């Protein structure tokens, strides 16, 4: 019962693959190790996965390839016949999508279409894919609910994630594939992405450099600790989407469907002020940051906050790790990994 994990050397993909291997689920890792951020960190994650596979005696197969390559995707399905798929491969980053839009179209839209087509051709017991809290875009009603419309993205990254949700629904409707989309809210923790605030801030503070605080610190994020995110993914993966028997086409619910397609927020449901987040980093490091206050960046959201009631109803779990605890775990990992 192999699970195909795309983006397996990425932050969330690495942690998910670890959990699957530890519970004895064979994993087919699929990643192109692209240089958006340091591939050395991705290779270090891969080395950890191989060590876990050896220690647990659980099969780990690996393909270094891109979803943009339809032949590689076809080969992965034909050779390994995954029972379920978790798509975490994507070109990430809101701001980079403004500078390099074609990278997002190719990876997030074209690549996802190849994966959907392979799931159709070879059969798939359940496809779980990463969407993003960015899809809420211009919405101002807080907390963000899956039951609200998300038709006003403010970045191309968000638009590609919304496109993924629409594409997934069409394949679920046409081909009866159980598909679940997960809108992740600012996931953080050990082995995290170097382009995200926690990593950037920690590195700069330790090096005595200023940190850039956007929108003059007047921002809120629903920071979600990685272990909570992975627990959510595992439980969702184990419970394939089903049609909503109460779905009313005359009054459609964006979160559900007559097709076996569902959407869930993966968030801590406890938004944190950016300045409080920085204070948690300072506390864990024992160093006060030098702050450079900056204007709001194009494509950013002023605040994110997840309504996770649907997730809790579906899997009897909701993320709940306090930010100070999660930040302290990241700082401990960072110091150990980089020897600082």
Neighbouring C-alpha atoms within 13 Å toward the C-beta of 80: 27
Q: How far apart are CA 111 and CA 127, in angstroms?
A: 15
DSSP-derived letter for residue 134 is G
Q: Are 52 and 16 in contact (CB under 8 A)?
A: no
Question: Distance (Å, rounded) from C-alpha 320 to C-alpha 262?
Answer: 22
- Catalytic one of 96, 157, 171, 188: 157
Q: How many CB atoms lie within 10 A of CB 271?
A: 21
The DSSP symbol for 162 reads H
Helix 197-206 with 323-338: angle, nearest 10 deg: 60
**Interior CA angle at 236 toward 15 and 304, to 5°?**
75
For the chain, how far is it from start to end, CA to CA, in angstroms? Answer: 41
Question: For residue 304, what are the CA distances in angstroms to 19, 138, 214?
Answer: 27, 11, 15
Is there a catalytic annotation at residue 157? yes
Distances (CA, A) of 287 to 16, 19, 209, 218, 223: 32, 33, 12, 22, 22
User: What are the distances in angstroms from CA 140 to CA 143, 215, 243, 270, 310?
Assistant: 9, 17, 29, 16, 20
Which pair of structure tokens corresponds to residue 339? 């020897």
> Please, which residues have CB within 8 angstroms of residue 153's CB and are 6 or more apart in sequence?
134, 135, 137, 138, 159, 162
Question: Which residues are designated catalytic?
Answer: 157
């Amino acid at each position: 019962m192999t699970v195909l994990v795309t983006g397996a050397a990425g932050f969330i993909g690495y942690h998910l693959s670890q959990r699957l291997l530890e519970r004895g689920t064979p994993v087919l890792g699929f990643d192109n190790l692209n240089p958006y951020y340091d591939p050395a960190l991705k290779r270090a994650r891969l080395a950890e996965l191989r060590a876990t596979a050896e220690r647990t005696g659980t099969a780990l197969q690996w393909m270094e390839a891109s979803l943009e390559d339809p032949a590689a995707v076809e080969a992965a399905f034909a050779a390994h016949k995954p029972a379920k798929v978790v798509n975490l491969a994507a070109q990430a980053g809101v701001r980079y999508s403004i500078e390099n839009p074609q990278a997002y179209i190719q990876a997030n839209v074209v690549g996802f279409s190849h994966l959907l087509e392979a799931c159709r051709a070879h059969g798939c017991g359940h496809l779980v894919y990463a969407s993003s809290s960015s899809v809420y875009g211009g919405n101002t009603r807080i907390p963000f609910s899956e039951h609200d419309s998300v038709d006003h993205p403010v970045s191309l990254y968000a638009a590609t994630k919304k496109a993924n949700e629409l594409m997934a629904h069409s394949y679920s409707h046409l081909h009866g594939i159980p598909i679940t989309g997960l809108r992740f809210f600012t996931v953080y923790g050990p082995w995290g992405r170097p382009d995200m605030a926690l990593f950037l801030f920690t590195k700069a503070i330790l090096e005595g450099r200023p940190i850039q605080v956007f929108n003059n610190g007047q921002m809120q994020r629903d920071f979600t600790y990685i272990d909570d995110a992975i627990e959510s993914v595992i439980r969702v993966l184990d419970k394939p989407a089903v049609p909503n028997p109460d779905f009313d086409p005359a009054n459609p619910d964006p979160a559900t469907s007559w097709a076996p397609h569902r959407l869930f927020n993966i968030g801590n449901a406890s938004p944190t002020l950016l300045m409080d987040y920085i204070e948690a980093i300072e506390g864990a490091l024992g160093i006060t940051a030098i702050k450079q206050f900056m204007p709001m960046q194009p494509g950013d959201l002023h605040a994110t906050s997840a309504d996770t009631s649907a997730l809790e109803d579906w899997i009897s779990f909701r993320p709940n790790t306090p930010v100070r605890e999660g930040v302290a775990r990241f700082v401990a990992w960072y110091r150990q990994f980089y020897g600082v």
